[in-house]
Structure 1
Amino acid sequence: MSKDEGTVVSDLINFLNASPTTFHAAAEAKKQLQAVGYEQISEKEVWELKAGHKYFLTRDHSTIVAFAVGKRYVAGNGFHIIGAHTDSPCLKLKPVSKVVKGGILEVGVQTYGGGLWYTWFDRDLTVAGRVILKRENAGSVSYSHRLVRIEEPIMRVPTLAIHLDRGVNDGFKVNTQTHLVPILATSLKAEVNKVSSENGSVESGKQNDGRKENDKTGSSNAKHHPILLQLLASKLECEPDDICDFELQASDTQPSINSRKITTPFSPVRVSDSGRFRFRFRLP
């Protein structure tokens, strides 16, 4: 592998490690574009583009569009477009993710995209995405968007031990509703018992899917495990009650790696080029 090839691979690995979600991917792309001279513009403003300059814009914190105007570009000439998607198959947390069954704290998730779901079993998982925070100051309320990623493992989608499922080697079909249900790591169990919900009660091991409780209070504690909210609040340096809403997904804590000891770079992130396309346009 040449030095240039090694640099390209390392840059890709670094990008993947910094982009566990589509929101992080857009933010990382924005940072890299600004580092090489791209200027941010807004769809809400009138553009005054200049030849030889480079620009980019974002939409919903998950889409980024960048373009460069050639020094000799003339209005009406053709142009090239290269596109790719920033999302990938994943397990997204449900709007009501709080599930307790048999004393086990589960996190309700739903599949997104067409994934190889069997690869999600027995991995050290965490959560990443964006959180909407509510701030009250002098009678006024403001909302802000924050990216979040908890580095340490907090969840796992377990498989049964072989003596509990002797026929698993004859074939296993993943049921996304019953098999792909992450449980909070057992290392958090002691902390869970200390976390109080909004009405002052301690989260228990009683059977509960969060929906009835949510109908009564409408609070985040009713929708999601208090320990999960505590972890997010700690990462964001805010109070759990400041969390108004979030869009999170399960994320592998194992980083992508690139080493001479392996033949190809390895990444737990699903890299897909199926979303790439390239067109050349020439205006009439």
Structure 2
Amino acid sequence: MLSRNHDQIIQEGLAFIDEEFEEGVSQALASLTEMGKGYLSERKELEAEQTITSIKEIGKAAALQRMENAAVNAIRSLDKILECSMKQNMENTTVKVLLSFGTIGKTAAEQQLETVARLAASMLGKSGNTAALMNREKETIAVTIGLGEIGKAAARTRFPDVSENAAICVSCLGDTGKLAAQKTLEEAAIGAEIMLEEMAAAAMEENLQSATGSIAASIEEIGKSAEEEEMENAVFQAASALQTIMSSAGNRYLNDASIAAKIALETFNELDLINNEESIKKIEEIREMMRSLWVDSK
């Protein structure tokens, strides 16, 4: 059970945000961080996860209030808890932290808080590489979800000074997805491809040709790595995503993006993209699992 002290701290932290009292928010976050680390050391996973939720809510509220320093501090607090949960090998808690990075980063991108969104994406990128190298597939999938959500929000802002965050998310998703494929974490590789495809859709809505072309290149790289490891479903998803991007970009007269996707697609031109029902079913299962994880984390 959480203490009354915890409830009081979260209430005070949110009140300090309403008052725009940075020091008070920082003190609340510091207290919650120590509390969360204590729960993790005692392996009290439920209490630790509730503390993570509280830190996430403060970070999200801070981003909505455009309190950049408070939002950054929330991400830093979550990073300290992440370090503990990974050491304790507490998968569910780690996943919750990673998705919380995504929530704060997405909100920050929507509020055009470039520094906050970039920090969240960078934390996720670093964590994705670590998780993939350690063969922690669920954690790697959580990273791809968070990066994708931040990236989609950044692509939709239409502000040039924020669009760099979309590029960071594309790069991190590409790196994580490729490493996941190399480590034969097929579901994680597919997860990265799915989020890149969704980012491409958001980018095309805003007529971002260069970003769409970069996404196509990242999907191709993941697909090629998956092909080397004979992961049919991940290769199928890469080719299918590229075909969708090529068609959608062409329909929007985004010719450079369409050509980039077409060139990337030629890597996989021998695949049957129509009748592979088994791969389609598997990919939809992964897509639904990712959607559920994200909804549950809000």
Give me the TM-score of the superposition, normalised by structure 2. Answer: 0.23
Higher helix share: 2
| Greater RCO, CA 8 A, separation 6+ | 1
Higher strand share: 1
Give 1 or 2 for the bigger CA radius of gyration: 1
